[in-house]
Amino acid sequence: MTALLLFAGIGFLLYDVASVRAGRPGMAWRRTLTDELATRRLDDVFVMAGAAAAAALGLWLLVLALTPGKRSLLTMRPDTPQVRAGLERSAAALVLRDRAMEVPGVQGARVTVRRRKVRARAQAHFRDLAEVRTDLEGALRDGVEQLGLARRPGLSVRVRRPGK
């Protein structure tokens, strides 16, 4: 998104520069900006604020460039050295939710998968909550193990009765 906004802004500025080179006058905002920048001192509040904003934008772009992409993918164990695989978090959550729904006594379940933690919320309707919780934990632990993730996420399970 940032790249698209920068692309549009630079294209707009390039259009203005090309029109000036073709003999037309520059856009009013650009003439005003160049006049203001030529007459203001470097220790002016507006110049300092503009410099701080440009530095913050540059720092943000560096952070975006250095952080890993594909945050929605969970890295899987490399069974073959030349093959790297990933599993989308939403797909892992769907598989684990289906696992949770197979546990006897679970009426409804919501599973969210993060990079380091799996969070399961379930509603039990006819069995004891402690029994449902232990069965659900076991089923989800087996499910997480069968996903084949490189880093095994922690598991958080909550079971409650449905509201009336």
Interacting residues of 41 by C-beta distance below 8 A, sequence separation 6+: 47
Using CA atoms, how far residue 111 sits from 6, 45, 105, 152, in Å, is 37, 51, 17, 16
Residue with tokens 């958080």: 156
Count the domains in the chain.
2
Using CA atoms, how far residue 28 sits from 6, 20, 46, 85, in Å, is 21, 12, 19, 53
CA distance 71 to 142: 24
Q: What is the pLDDT of residues 30-66, one digit of tens each?
A: 888 888 888 988 888 988 999 999 999 999 989 988 8
Q: Are residues 79 and 103 in the same domain?
A: yes
CA distance 73 to 132: 30
Q: Are residues 131 and 155 in the same domain?
A: yes
Q: Are residues 119 and 147 in the same domain?
A: yes
Domain span including residue 58: 2-66
For strand 73-75 and strand 86-88, is the pairing parallel, antiparallel, or unpaired?
antiparallel
pLDDT of residue 124: 93
Q: What is the pLDDT of residues 94-123, one digit of tens each?
A: 999 999 999 999 999 999 999 899 999 999
The rounded percent of the chain whose pLDDT value lies above 90 is 55
Q: Are residues 153 and 81 in the same domain?
A: yes
